[in-house]
Chains A and B, each alone.
Chain A
């Protein structure tokens, strides 16, 4: 239960009256007859404050290492901050060197992750051997073995494995930036994991995206457009001439390339749309959506329809493609097609969109929103867009764009502009407390964590509309995401055997230094890499001293500065059989770790 201190003196109407502070509804005597009184059991009062409540308040930035690990990674693991600082004495140079490495990931060097996956393969437990047995299958294998399978468990196995692999990678991969960017691009090209054929094809969809994260956007766009997953998700497999289905055409324009933020002109004559600074038609209209849908007719999947084989591969059906060239060409913005050129009809348009400055601006804005914060400075977004546009023909275009953003002053000054979303909060806690669990299917502990993550409504592939999970603080600062994220974190911290916090404390502090104050400071530093405000640190210390006092009231010494050995056996970290001991010491420390990981600081990035 929350404390019974008087409620915050925040008041919706701007009046801090005595009645509000006392927690009663103010009723004038004249109205008491008609107004309802709340049930007596609600002693607590939610006082209110006027909106808007999401204004960004500038924060003193922490040092470079924690800034980078919380904004461009999933949070530091013990040792990460020291390793970063060891790269170079000058923080900007250290960042640059870190990026040199992170922008060029080497899968073979991803030791912790690879070792964990290998350990599953080497395990005597057959469930563990098979825990990730679909992730390397070819797309045809996935289609035939899984997507087409009647059995519920078999067809969903790939998506279930991938859901956990995403979390596993975020928790343990050395290539943290890649994981952050993968999350960005997956949401950009969002699909819903629990429908046909995605539940069976997810490893392939994932692989196609990942291949292009550090490459060129054009390749990402064109390869994504050919996946059975995307062709089904947005109905293009059913887009045929003469009755086209415009769903995919619309979303490519609205979500994947130009975006509707600046570049959608609605139901107007395309001829009235002017040009942008690069001399390109500035945006798209409803007519362009329809025309693009015409161009996309015939793009489908080899899925046994129309006498095709059943492989799940991309298939262009020329006989289902637009063929009224005598009536009218296809015109999508500046692109005019006058006769069929098979799949080139679409590729020409996709190239055009990849080359479009509107696309550069939209993606620049989205990347800045993700990496920097809400409402990024428009002038800076334009600079990023120019970089995206200038490098649009280069094989490492995206790598250059990321570097441009991450080495910028806006990035370095953006601490606290974002609030962590549930997966980010949970993985941050996972890494900070050095949890030792190879998250996977068919493992009861993983399942228990999974159910709770599911309850946050923010889990991989779980967002049904194509817009992907929102990236606005207003969504994630709500009571639902906060309480449900914290619920996952507290659950994980209770699993002593995979996260022995008492043991970690003892490994980090000499016995004489295991004072309340020093333990709290140890965990703050370990989890966040910088100091908390003193009053927050004080209150966490008080949590410990209050408990110690209740164990030994009237003790005349100093709970804060004397080692905890005085009050509880701090050597009680493991049982006789080596398993973690759930001693009072462990429980107290768990509370400290929880407070650190649920504090306001832990929500900032």
Chain B
């Protein structure tokens, strides 16, 4: 049993007290000081589309675009979207009809789409690709922290202590926040409670103190969980009314209940407006692995319905946040949201009216500080020579470029070498997706951050 009993074991408290030396040994850059600034107030929301969304069915070349002919020749088995059904965003591109709600954000310049992004090389395994994206270390699947974990660790403008800085609206952690001790994983806030009854206070007090007695990872985890529970309990979840009439999407078979993604975005919106110092939120929207019967069009199309659910929820989210916050800006202006997926899908469809795994894909950036209303990225086209292995959209922008630009401009965290170790200055080619004062990125050699456990 881990205790301060003089044996050669890691004691967290002692470790922290001698932070200067010990934390360097563990590879954490000791921060000698921090200073909050206007960027400390900003919030990053990361939405992961699980399964590899078919980017070509989300943003599609219309008639008149040079690739429309290729598109028509590639999408022959029930996945082609007629040009007339697409919602134009200019330059010959159109959004899937399900994304109509996003046009509001597009036209007020709050939505930017970066095309042809991806991992630095094609990896068509969900399992591998999503790990690489979220851990932020393509090629290294054993990294034990996520990119957002390292962002929170390395940012110099965040306070020492925050109430609820990181939340995942799922029941278990996501790789983006792997090993972040303050991350609260919570899918149903009103159920996030021990519900012990009879001497509940005495029992919970005892349990919290018991976890405080120890200092190994399980003790820390328990302490954090109980503290998180107290905070979540203090919020009035049932009494929440979205602002500005924001309408989150409801389930088709149960209109009294929001869709799963709708629920999750509403939880995040409420948490942001609770002013609980939320800095990062991570959530998923699933159902994108459309190998069969993709259904790109209205009339019970699976993909269409999923796009619609996502789009309605995202519009509602920003509508809901469009109220003033204590620092004078609206919450919407303080919140930047990135939507991403592990890969795109093959340019040609398969015999089952679906699509298989591919590579290059769209990245959506929305909200505060986004130079929206534009497409970014180097789209090479759909002709055979432009494709990877004649099958996939080529990823011409490393996704880390966009994520880094976001951290730099919106959060003023320039410790790119810590957040994305191995990502070099030469690979960072910002596209101007985000606005914010320039701060020079720091690509200096990282200290050793990754371990498989402290020795």
Q: Are B327 and A591 in contact (CB under 8 A)?
A: no
Q: Which residues in chain A, 47-64, are within 8 Å of chain B measured between CB atoms?
A: 47-60
B54-75 interface bits toward A, Cβ cutoff 8 Å, 1 = contact, 0 = none? 0000000000000000000000
Q: In this assembly, does B431 line the interface, its C-beta being within 8 Å of a C-beta of chain A?
A: no
Q: Are A481 and B171 in contact (CB under 8 A)?
A: yes
Q: Are A53 and B217 in contact (CB under 8 A)?
A: yes
Q: Are A52 and B454 in contact (CB under 8 A)?
A: yes
Most buried by B among A31, A49, A235, A590: A49
Q: In this assembly, does B206 line the interface, its C-beta being within 8 Å of a C-beta of chain A?
A: yes
How far in angstroms is the closest Cβ of chain B from A289?
8
Partner of A478, one of B26, B161, B172: B172
Q: Are B185 and A478 in contact (CB under 8 A)?
A: yes
Q: In this assembly, does B246 line the interface, its C-beta being within 8 Å of a C-beta of chain A?
A: no
Q: Are A12 and B171 in contact (CB under 8 A)?
A: no
Q: Are A455 and B210 in contact (CB under 8 A)?
A: no
Partner of B229, one of A470, A479, A491: A479
Q: In this assembly, does A339 line the interface, its C-beta being within 8 Å of a C-beta of chain B?
A: no
Q: In this assembly, does B444 line the interface, its C-beta being within 8 Å of a C-beta of chain A?
A: no
Partner of A7, one of B192, B207, B227: B227
Q: Are B225 and A479 in contact (CB under 8 A)?
A: yes
Chain A residues lying within 8 Å of B208, measured Cβ to Cβ, are: 2-3
Q: In this assembly, does B9 line the interface, its C-beta being within 8 Å of a C-beta of chain A?
A: yes
Q: Are A13 and B34 in contact (CB under 8 A)?
A: yes
Chain B residues lying within 8 Å of A39, measured Cβ to Cβ, are: 274-276
Q: In this assembly, does B237 line the interface, its C-beta being within 8 Å of a C-beta of chain A?
A: no
Chain B residues lying within 8 Å of A474, measured Cβ to Cβ, are: 144, 173, 178-179
A374 CA / B179 CA spacing, docked (Å): 14
Q: In this assembly, does B424 line the interface, its C-beta being within 8 Å of a C-beta of chain A?
A: no
Chain B residues lying within 8 Å of A447, measured Cβ to Cβ, are: none
Q: Are B128 and A260 in contact (CB under 8 A)?
A: yes
Segment touching B, from A22-30, A344-352, A552-560: A22-30
Given contacts A34-B38, A36-B41, A487-B191, contact A240 B351 (CB under 8 A): yes
Q: In this assembly, does A490 line the interface, its C-beta being within 8 Å of a C-beta of chain B?
A: yes
Q: Are A44 and B351 in contact (CB under 8 A)?
A: no
Q: Are B274 and A31 in contact (CB under 8 A)?
A: no
Q: Are B205 and A3 in contact (CB under 8 A)?
A: yes
B179-219 interface bits toward A, Cβ cutoff 8 Å, 1 = contact, 0 = none? 11111111110011111111101111111111111101111
Partner of B291, one of A34, A235, A375, A480: A235
A-B contact count (CB 8 A): 359
A253 nearest in chain B by CB position: B125
How far in angstroms is the closest Cβ of chain B from A230?
15
Q: Are B125 and A250 in contact (CB under 8 A)?
A: yes
How far in angstroms is the closest Cβ of chain A from B309?
17
Q: In this assembly, does A117 line the interface, its C-beta being within 8 Å of a C-beta of chain B?
A: no
How far in angstroms is the closest Cβ of chain B from A301?
14
Q: Are A36 and B125 in contact (CB under 8 A)?
A: no
Q: Which residues in chain B, 321-361, are within 8 Å of chain A measured between CB atoms?
A: 325-327, 350-352, 356
Q: Are A44 and B327 in contact (CB under 8 A)?
A: no
Chain A residues lying within 8 Å of B19, measured Cβ to Cβ, are: 13-15
Given contacts A1-B204, A240-B351, contact A49 B211 (CB under 8 A): no
How far in angstroms is the closest Cβ of chain A from B342?
11
Given contacts A2-B208, A235-B352, A245-B356, contact A51 B179 (CB under 8 A): yes
How far in angstroms is the closest Cβ of chain A from B258?
17
A599 CA / B125 CA spacing, docked (Å): 39
Q: In this assembly, does B78 line the interface, its C-beta being within 8 Å of a C-beta of chain A?
A: no
Chain A residues lying within 8 Å of B13, measured Cβ to Cβ, are: 9-10
Given contacts A479-B185, A482-B221, contact A16 B37 (CB under 8 A): no
Q: In this assembly, does A403 line the interface, its C-beta being within 8 Å of a C-beta of chain B?
A: no
The interface size bin for chain B is 35 or more
Most buried by B among A31, A245, A474: A474
Q: Are A46 and B188 in contact (CB under 8 A)?
A: no
Chain B residues lying within 8 Å of A238, measured Cβ to Cβ, are: 292, 351-352
A491 CA / B191 CA spacing, docked (Å): 12
Chain A residues lying within 8 Å of B164, measured Cβ to Cβ, are: 46
Q: Are B170 and A457 in contact (CB under 8 A)?
A: yes
Chain A residues lying within 8 Å of B20, measured Cβ to Cβ, are: 14
Q: Are A456 and B127 in contact (CB under 8 A)?
A: no
Chain A residues lying within 8 Å of B227, measured Cβ to Cβ, are: 2, 7, 44-46
Q: In this assembly, does B445 line the interface, its C-beta being within 8 Å of a C-beta of chain A?
A: no
B213 nearest in chain A by CB position: A535
A484 CA / B193 CA spacing, docked (Å): 7
Q: Are B277 and A470 in contact (CB under 8 A)?
A: no
B223 nearest in chain A by CB position: A8
Chain B residues lying within 8 Å of A455, measured Cβ to Cβ, are: 171, 187-188, 191
Q: In this assembly, does B141 line the interface, its C-beta being within 8 Å of a C-beta of chain A?
A: yes
Chain B residues lying within 8 Å of A255, measured Cβ to Cβ, are: 127
A8 CA / B13 CA spacing, docked (Å): 9
Known: A7-B227, A42-B163. 14 other contacts (CB 8 A): A2-B205, A8-B212, A10-B13, A12-B160, A13-B160, A20-B160, A27-B36, A44-B234, A57-B9, A458-B171, A458-B172, A480-B172, A490-B194, A599-B210
12 contacts between A and B (CB under 8 A): A2-B205, A27-B36, A39-B274, A48-B181, A50-B28, A57-B216, A243-B351, A482-B222, A490-B194, A533-B1, A540-B210, A591-B196
| Residues of A near any B CB (own CB < 8 A) | 1-3, 5, 7-17, 19-20, 23, 25-28, 31, 34-39, 41-42, 44-60, 235, 238, 240, 243, 245-247, 250, 254-255, 260-261, 264, 266-267, 286, 374-375, 416, 419, 455-458, 464-465, 467, 470, 473-484, 486-487, 490-491, 494, 532-533, 535-536, 539-540, 542-543, 546-547, 587-588, 590-591, 594-595, 598-601, 603-604
